[in-house]
């Protein structure tokens, strides 16, 4: 192998040479490693039959010009095009390909050089961003439409409504405005968690009081469920941020009621040496084993199977995971003994004797940072 051939073989991009009919005459660089065929297996074959390129909508397309007359004015090359292609015994992947053309004396194309690189990761990120935008837009559109509609109705027909109707419309507006505020708060939490800028104000707190507060607040909206809790006597204080831990428990209990048509949602606590385990169990359909890690990902939304059940943003469990880990704990989900799902997280026991339980630290004190929380 000559030095030039050795350099070409080490390229991270695939270098594919085609004739005027788009048959493969050269297969260099990363092409064998990336696409799975050796040079001997592909020479002389139509590149489109081999790779079966498709566009973003899944429609068949072609690499290089389908009609050479369409590129008569091009002497150097084309902008990058994106193709979803088949490989030899490997997962399909996205290629970003640029083509350049060589012409004979008559001006006709006689050689096409394709430089292609694997853009699968970039494409997945772009698609994930699109899904995020779509999900957020959907979640914002519904309450904002309601707020706009009811506000406009009140402005134009105020005198036609009695006080009870006005109150009902205003309560609905407030509820939908709270939904928008909560979504924006969730997005900010996601941003802070991913950037490592989550701030915690931790001190010894009674987690049983927070659990009681959460179950009491959510009970009126969960008429078909029995919300209960069980903690052993003298349950130790935990070292945490009460607002953030209330957010975690609210997410887990709401998630349990959302995915359980009826039945009991049970919050329990267990002491384990220097930490405690808090569990939220439901009697719903449970979570398949293959999804038990994915549920903590961003924008993962379970199908509750219940008609009219809200789908949510898919951010609650992701945020809960970030908040628990910021406290030095961990969170997971498993199947219940009699069905349903059990979400469990751990928290460190408060070991600070000179602080009173429930006594917040000095508000001027520097808050803890996620990933480096002070214990």
User: Which pLDDT tens digit goes with each residue over 70-98?
Assistant: 655 555 567 888 999 999 988 899 999 98
| For helices 242-258 and 316-326, angle between their N-to-C axes, nearest 10 degrees | 150
What pLDDT band is residue 308 in, cutting at 50, 70 and 90?
very low
Predicted local confidence at residue 76, as pLDDT: 58
Place of tokens 């005027």: 20
Q: Distance from CA of residue 133 to its chain's centroid?
A: 11
Sign of CA dihedral 356, 357, 358, 362: positive
Contact 246, 210 (CB under 8 A): yes
Predicted local confidence at residue 322, as pLDDT: 92
Predicted local confidence at residue 86, as pLDDT: 93
In the chain, where the domains are located: 3-118, 126-195, 199-369
Contact 14, 37 (CB under 8 A): no
Q: CA neighbours within 13 Å on the CB side: how many for 56?
A: 10
Between these two residues, 65 and 349, which has the higher pLDDT value?
Answer: 349
Q: Of 231, 198, 162, 228, give the one whose Cα is nearest residue 325.
A: 198
Say if residue 209's pLDDT is above 60. Answer: yes
- β-strand 275-281 against 81-85: which pairing, if any? unpaired
Predicted local confidence at residue 255, as pLDDT: 87
Question: What's the whole-number mean pLDDT along residues 10-33?
Answer: 91
Q: Give CA–CA dist 82/168, Å, rounded.
A: 52
The model's pTM is 0.63
Predicted local confidence at residue 77, as pLDDT: 62
Strands (E), 161-292: 199-200, 203-205, 225-230, 238-240, 263-272, 275-281
Break the chain down into helix, strand, coil percent, rounded to 5: 40, 25, 35
Q: What is the CA radius of gyration of the chain?
A: 29
Q: Of 98, 111, 23, 109, give the one whose Cα is nearest residue 73.
A: 109
Say if residue 187's pLDDT is above 70. Answer: yes
> Which CATH number applies to 199-369?
3.30.565.10
Question: What's the whole-number mean pLDDT along residues 21-40?
Answer: 93
Q: How far is CA 340 from CA 141, 183, 193, 255, 264, in A?
A: 32, 27, 29, 12, 10
Predicted local confidence at residue 173, as pLDDT: 92
Both tokens of 9, joined, read 């073989």
Q: Give CA–CA dist 314/288, Å, rounded.
A: 17
Say if residue 319's pLDDT is above 70. Answer: yes
Is 3-118 assigned to CATH 3.30.450.20? Answer: yes
Predicted local confidence at residue 267, as pLDDT: 94
Between these two residues, 129 and 38, which has the higher pLDDT value?
Answer: 38
Both tokens of 60, joined, read 């068949």
Q: Give CA–CA dist 278/267, Å, rounded.
A: 7
Q: Of 52, 44, 48, 14, give the one whose Cα is nearest residue 30.
A: 14
Both tokens of 83, joined, read 């193709």
Strands (E), 213-292: 225-230, 238-240, 263-272, 275-281
In this structure, which CATH number among 1.10.287.130, 3.40.50.620, 3.40.50.1100, 3.90.100.10 belongs to the domain 126-195? 1.10.287.130
Backbone angles phi, psi at 306, to 5 degrees: -105, 130
Q: What is the DSSP letter of 174?
A: H
Place of tokens 């339980």: 357
The tens digit of pLDDT for each residue in 259-273 reads 777 788 999 999 988
Q: Give CA–CA dist 265/288, Å, rounded.
A: 19
Contact 117, 13 (CB under 8 A): yes
CB atoms within 10 A of CB 153: 14
Predicted local confidence at residue 301, as pLDDT: 65
| For helices 207-218 and 242-258, angle between their N-to-C axes, nearest 10 degrees | 40
What pLDDT band is residue 139 in, cutting at 50, 70 and 90?
confident
Q: Give CA–CA dist 221/173, Å, rounded.
A: 18
């Amino acid at each position: 192998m000559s030095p030039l051939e050795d350099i070409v073989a080490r390229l991270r991009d695939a270098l594919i040479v085609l004739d005027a009919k788009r048959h493969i005459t050269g297969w260099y660089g990363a092409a064998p490693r990336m696409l799975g065929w050796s040079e001997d297996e592909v020479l002389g074959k139509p590149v489109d039959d081999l790779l079966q390129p498709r566009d973003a909508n899944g429609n068949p397309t072609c690499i290089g010009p389908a009609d050479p007359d369409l590129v008569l004015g091009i002497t150097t090359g084309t902008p990058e095009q994106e193709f979803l292609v088949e490989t030899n015994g490997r997962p399909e992947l996205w290629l970003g390909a640029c083509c350049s053309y060589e012409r004979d004396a008559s001006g006709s194309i006689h050689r096409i050089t394709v430089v292609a690189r694997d853009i699968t990761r970039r494409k997945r990120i772009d698609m994930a961003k699109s899904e995020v935008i779509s999900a957020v837009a959907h979640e914002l559109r519904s309450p904002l439409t309601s707020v706009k509609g009811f506000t406009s109705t009140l402005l134009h027909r105020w005198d036609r409504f009695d006080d009870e109707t006005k109150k009902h419309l205003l309560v609905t507006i407030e509820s939908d405005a709270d939904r928008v505020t909560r979504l924006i708060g969730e997005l900010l939490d996601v941003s802070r968690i991913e950037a490592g800028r989550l701030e915690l104000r931790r001190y010894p707190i009674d987690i049983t009081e927070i659990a009681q507060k959460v179950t009491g607040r959510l009970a009126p909206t969960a008429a078909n469920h029995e919300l209960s809790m069980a903690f052993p006597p003298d349950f130790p204080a935990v070292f945490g941020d009460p607002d953030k831990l209330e957010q975690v428990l609210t997410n887990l209990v709401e998630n349990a009621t959302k995915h359980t048509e009826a039945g009991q949602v049970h919050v329990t606590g267990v002491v384990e040496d220097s930490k405690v385990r808090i569990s939220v169990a439901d009697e719903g359909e449970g979570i398949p084993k293959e999804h038990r890690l994915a549920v903590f990902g961003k924008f993962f939304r379970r199908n509750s199977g219940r008609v009219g059940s809200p789908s949510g943003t898919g951010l609650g469990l992701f945020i809960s995971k970030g908040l628990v880990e910021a406290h030095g704990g961990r969170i997971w989900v498993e199947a219940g003994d009699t069905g349903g799902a059990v979400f469990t997280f751990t928290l460190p026991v408060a070991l600070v004797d000179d602080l009173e339980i429930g006594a917040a630290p000095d508000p001027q004190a520097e808050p803890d940072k996620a990933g480096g929380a002070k214990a």
